[in-house]
Amino acid sequence: MEESATLRIGSENYNFPLIKGTESEIAVDLRTLRSESSCITFDDGYGNTGSCESKVTFIDGEKGILRYRGYPIEQLAEKSNFLESAFALLYGELPSENQLNSFRKKISDNAGLRENMAKGLHSFAPDAHPMAVLSAMVNNLGTYHPEKSTNDRKRDLEAFDDTAALLISAIRTIAARDYRNRKGLAPIPSDPSLGYCADFLQMTFGDSNNPQPPPQKVCEALNLVFLLHADHEQNCSTSTCRMVASGGANVFASVSAAIGALWGPLHGGANMAVIKMLKDIHDSGDDGSRFIEDAKNGKKRLMGFGHRVYKNYDPRAKILNVACNDALEELGVSSPILDIARHLEEVALSDEYFIQRKLYPNVDFYSGILLEAIGFPLNMFTVIFAIGRLPGWLSHWKEIAESGSKIHRPRQVYQGATVRDYVSIEER
């Protein structure tokens, strides 16, 4: 293969080097295009634009491959857990036993919130969206740790290990306390002996008068939800985190911005859309059969099927499907919308219309069903997504800070009015 690409603009030829990724990806390096030709590329939504070189996560959507730091997601889901995988994302390698124990302890030691910060949770409007609260409180957390939020890359990197542990721990506490505040319930303190997911479930749904460990299968399923969402390459929220970090912003500000990006219904709200669809089908008196036909005729949109990146079965969906079944069985949950979900799944996996279009159930389909069954309210689904995605955001912030990346500054193609003179208000 040639080591460069030639672009012809008008009568002029321009040569640009090729960048080769470790998984045989090829990118044309157009960083000098504008200076050499006065032209820029146009790629609405950046679907064909490589915004960075990264060592964190690899995706091959055509083959249905997802790897964290080279480790296949299937192996991590079977043999690892959320915190161990988070460590690998943050530091590039799986931890030793001592490293993992130290990482877990640092996280469990940071579960508490400062008293004034905890009081701040009561200052939000009663109907404030949990994602708005989460974003604000993460930024607020940085104000209680000024030594970790200096906006000085060198100093913030020196504090990174402690900052990462603090955020990974405190984000659960913020989410759990916000949930209980809305219910008028007193907070339940963290119990490090329960483990990361069980502790979060206890802080959220526990009975302070009769503490009971959450069901093991439910904890395992939630662990998988977090693990499977921990990173997913240059998506909207991760790109947002990297862009904010490129300006030199500290970890708290960058993560807060990423939470805001994830809040968008086209990004983090997909599993909510699944439950809304299932409830709408049930309310219409349908078992899903009519909805399937309407979807095939273009009258309805089948939520939770297909993926923008994966043109094959979403590897995360296969894994979560099994965990979802186990958790529902342990919870003893049965509901009409779960029956509808299984019917949609069965039809979509056997109907040629969906098979030919590769519209397989994706991770949002199963995570939505699971979170509904556990008892999380619909407006908290994206909060769960954010807790899981946090290690990825932290890893990408670290990568930007360590690389000394330039500030991100996309170009545009201006389509507005050309030059014109100001007209006084009396003459308009």
Domain 70-266 top-level CATH class: mainly alpha
Model confidence at 212, in pLDDT bands (50, 70, 90)? Answer: confident
Active-site residue, 307 included: yes
Q: Which two tokens stand for residue 397?
A: 């912030």
Q: Which long-range contacts (CB under 8 A, 24 or more apart) does 41-47 make?
A: 42/413, 46/239
pLDDT at 76 over 80: yes
Q: Does domain 4-50 have CATH number 2.20.28?
A: yes
pLDDT at 277 over 60: yes
Q: Which of 232, 314, 364, 396 is catalytic?
A: 364
Q: How far apart are CA 140 and CA 132, in angstroms?
A: 12
Q: pLDDT for 368-423, tens place per residue?
A: 889 988 999 999 999 999 999 999 999 999 999 999 888 999 999 999 999 999 99
Q: pLDDT for 56-71, tens place per residue?
A: 999 998 888 999 999 9
Please tell me what DSSP assigns to residue 361: B
Active-site residue, 364 included: yes
Q: Which of 232, 307, 314, 396 is catalytic?
A: 307
Q: pLDDT for 121-146, tens place per residue?
A: 999 998 999 999 999 999 999 999 99
Q: How far apart are CA 131 and CA 384, in angstroms?
A: 10
Model confidence at 359, in pLDDT bands (50, 70, 90)? Answer: confident
The pLDDT score that the predictor gives to residue 2 is 64
Q: pLDDT for 141-187, tens place per residue?
A: 999 999 999 999 999 999 999 999 999 999 999 999 999 999 999 99
pTM confidence score: 0.93
CB proximity list for 174: less than 8 A, separation 6 or greater: 113, 121, 133, 134, 137, 138, 141
Q: pLDDT for 228-241, tens place per residue?
A: 999 999 999 999 99
pLDDT at 115 over 70: yes
Answer yes or no: are the C-beta atoms of 400 and 242 closer than 8 Å: yes
The pLDDT score that the predictor gives to residue 149 is 96
Q: What percent of the chain has pLDDT over 70?
A: 100
Domain 270-374 top-level CATH class: mainly alpha
Domain ranges of the chain: 4-50, 70-266, 270-374
